[in-house]
Structure 1
């Protein structure tokens, strides 16, 4: 998966409330939806003096200055460090063919797709800190999308969100309730997401996870997902 494909899929399946260009910058209006939809990115040649333009645009939206740094942004990364910006939440991206993940489909009742999200799914997300502002991000997706409810031991165990951008699907907001972790629910939801994505015409499933989340990364690797990129944020 190329970096361009990864970030295009990320923007399409977890969209900001608004996008504007300010000189070389893409400015995202997040409306409380998290870092991914609030971070500015450099999408053209920039000069050190241009950083203030991005900062002012984010402050005008009521947002704290926040930049996403991708491969190729090393000079910007260094410039922001020199201005006192600190690294926040390094992220690793994973991807795999849908056919690989869907080959071992889980029992239907262990993870089933639906839209709009059931009340229990909203409750599970809320318990994990994924509140209305982030559900609003999901609502903004215009392409095929679904929520997946996981079940374990006859109980609702977790939830995730999946959406398509062309033939790429991306999984977001995967959460398993603490009491039911390490019982296979997360794996079942990832595999069900791949099954659903394949039915919609997708050929690849991707996701992003904070690099410090070693248990999740081990799970994704065990399912056949491979690292395809990294990025991080810098904020004041």
Structure 2
């Protein structure tokens, strides 16, 4: 059975974890340590009041983070409350998933894609070129389950890096970065196949990936590979004076 959106929310949290969490009533506050929106955004379980949001905003500011919420399926009331408080919508994303078995029948070309952990220095360089710096690499280090880095070469040159980790039988790919001069050559697809082969060896049943809706090329790739988009989330961010 295909995982639903709520299962993928849990996989996202486990495979790309914040440095810490704290519950303030129905709001979960995340300490992102500079690791980006996904590990810094607060979420709300159930109904929240204006006072709950006030406390959450103060807690995020105390961590040195601007007020930021992740709005998930079923959070319509929260979305409206945040809009009324001056929060703008940021970075809507799609969550894609497919059975691992759909990919493992295809053999990978030799000496093109690899799995390696800890990340090689060249992988860190490729990530840095794409804006994935040390704070995000630290997120990868925090993931507690089975995990590995993905490394890709093209025409005997280092060309791509990624990260994949497993939670509850679902492998999720993060931080997939292909160098600009090596794009549109099929390497992104091969990196996803490499992730699937590794995930199968770890006993995972499904492969998942998150992609901003604005990234039409990547969304098109995942659709063409047979992934299903099972849901979305977006952020609401409040601009500080």
Q: TM-score, normalised by structure 2?
A: 0.96
User: 5 Å matches for 1:4-83?
Assistant: 4-83=6-85
1:50 is displaced (CA, Å) by 1.4
- Structure 1 unaligned residues grouped into runs of 5+: none
Shift in Å at residue 72 of structure 1? 0.5
Instruction: Please give the alpha-carbon distance, in whole angstroms, between the structure 2 residues aligned to 1:164 and 1:108.
Output: 25
Alpha-carbon distance in structure 2 between the residues aligned to 1:223 and 1:111: 17
C-alpha deviations, 1:128-171, integer Å up to 9, x for none? 11010000000001111000101111111101100010211100
Q: Which moved more, 1:47-56 or 1:211-220?
A: 47-56
Match of 2:187 among 172, 175, 185: 185
Task: Give the C-alpha shift of residue 108 in structure 1.
Answer: 3.8
Match of residue 146 from structure 1: 148
Question: Where do 4+ consecutive residues of structure 1 move more than 6 Å?
Answer: none
Give, in angstroms, the shift of residue 44 of structure 1. 3.2
- CA shift digits 1:194-216 (9 cap, x unpaired): 00001001000101000010000
TM-score, normalisation: structure 1: 0.98
SS at match of 1:109: coil
* Distance (whole Å) between structure 2 residues aligned to residue 43 and residue 17 of structure 1: 20
| Deviation at residue 48 of structure 1 after TM alignment | 2.5
Q: CA deviation at 1:3?
A: 2.2
Query: Which residue of the partner structure matches residue 97 of structure 1?
Result: 99
Q: Distance in 2 between matches of 1:233 and 1:192?
A: 30
Contact 1:17/1:31, CA 8 A, preserved across alignment: yes
Shift of 1:116: 0.2
Equivalent pair of 1:105/1:195 in contact (CA under 8 Å): no
Q: Is the 8 A contact 1:105 1:192 kept in 2?
A: no
How many Å separate the matches in 1 of 2:175 and 2:85?
Answer: 32
Task: Verify the 8 A CA contact 1:159 1:175 in the aligned structure 2.
Answer: yes
2: distance between equivalents of 1:219 and 1:103? 19
Q: Kindly indicate whether the alpha-carbon contact (under 8 Å) linking 2:24 and 2:52 is maintained by their aligned counterparts in 1.
A: no
Find 1:159's aligned residue among 156, 161, 176.
161
Partner of 1:233: 235
Gapped regions of structure 2 (runs ≥ 5): none
Q: CA RMSD in A?
A: 0.8
Query: For 2:56 and 2:222, how far apart are their aligned partners in 1?
Result: 35
Which deviates more, 103-112 or 159-168? Answer: 103-112
Alpha-carbon distance in 2 for matches of 1:5, 1:166: 9
Contact 1:93–1:230 at 8 Å: present in 2 too? yes
